[in-house]
A and B are shown apart, each in its own frame.
Chain A
Amino acid sequence: MSRNIPQDIRKIKEELKALKSFQELPAGQLATRAATATWQGVIDNTNPIGVYSILAAFEMTFVRTDGIRKPPLVDFAFLISPQIPNRRNYLRGNIVATGVNSVTYRITIANLVWWPYDTSTGTITIDGAAYSSVPGALSIERVFS
């Protein structure tokens, strides 16, 4: 039986490439160290309290660094200090975008409480973390005020 050797080799290479691009799946290789990022700065709380609006918003973006152009599997976490006394549901976080090799997570702080210092302005710190099955870097920026 005659065979087209170059074609066979090409098929095998394509299959190998597909397998490599699928490598995010092995959960056994789940990253044991989180990628982290920190934002620190002043936020102002000048709007009337009690009417729902966004006091400040931030976006954390996890970009995979293994060179594969697929959105990574990633779980985000964040902690803001000083912490809002009680009712910490003034903080929200959810994934808002995926890129060719990244995932973006948005944090919003609702304008429903005098916070952080019972005054209209104050310095806060956001410690963000991303847990992924692939290596990557995390960044954080303020996107709305």
Chain B
Amino acid sequence: MNCENQISAIRDELKALKEVFARNASDLITYTYSTSFTFTKSGDVVTLTFISEDGTNTIASVGVEENAYCRRIPYDGGARWYIVPSARFGESTPYTRTVVVRSMRKGRLVIT
């Protein structure tokens, strides 16, 4: 095979690689889920679990309305967070908050 043919073959391989990467990169489009929960008493902690459709772990971001924050804890099969009221004093309980999760995997949210 001469040089021209070698280059041509490499280019074909690159083109195929690019197509694969482009297809995989589209997986970066995240899936968005939302749910609500209620803090029922002072010092309450809510556990939010994202269960992946395919049972694998996921990289995900989570956001919650004011006066609460989320912390991820180890979990196999998706992702899990504690949702904690951030204010020590103030708002009377119970109060309801909405949480939004953006995940690289399809799945569903469970509040416990």
Chain B residues within 8 Å of chain A by Cβ, number: 39
Give a binary string over A10-40; 1 marks a CB under 8 Å from any B CB, 0 the rest. 0010011001001101111111111010000
Give a binary string over B1-26; 1 marks a CB under 8 Å from any A CB, 0 the rest. 00110110011001001100100110
Chain B residues with CB under 8 A of A5: 3-4, 7
Could you tell me the dominant secondary structure of chain A's interface residues? mixed
| Contact call B69/A89, Cβ cutoff below 8 A | yes
Binding site for B on A (CB under 8 A): 3, 5, 8-9, 12, 15-16, 19, 22-23, 25-34, 36, 73-79, 85-89, 91-93, 127-129, 131-133
Q: Is there a chain A Cβ closer than 8 Å to B45's Cβ?
A: yes
Q: Which of B14-64 contact A (CB under 8 A)?
A: 14, 17-18, 21, 24-25, 27-28, 42-45, 56-60
For A5, A16, A75, A89, the residue with the greatest tally of chain B CB atoms inside 10 Å of its CB is A89
A27 and B82 in contact, given A9-B7, A16-B14 (Cβ under 8 angstroms): no
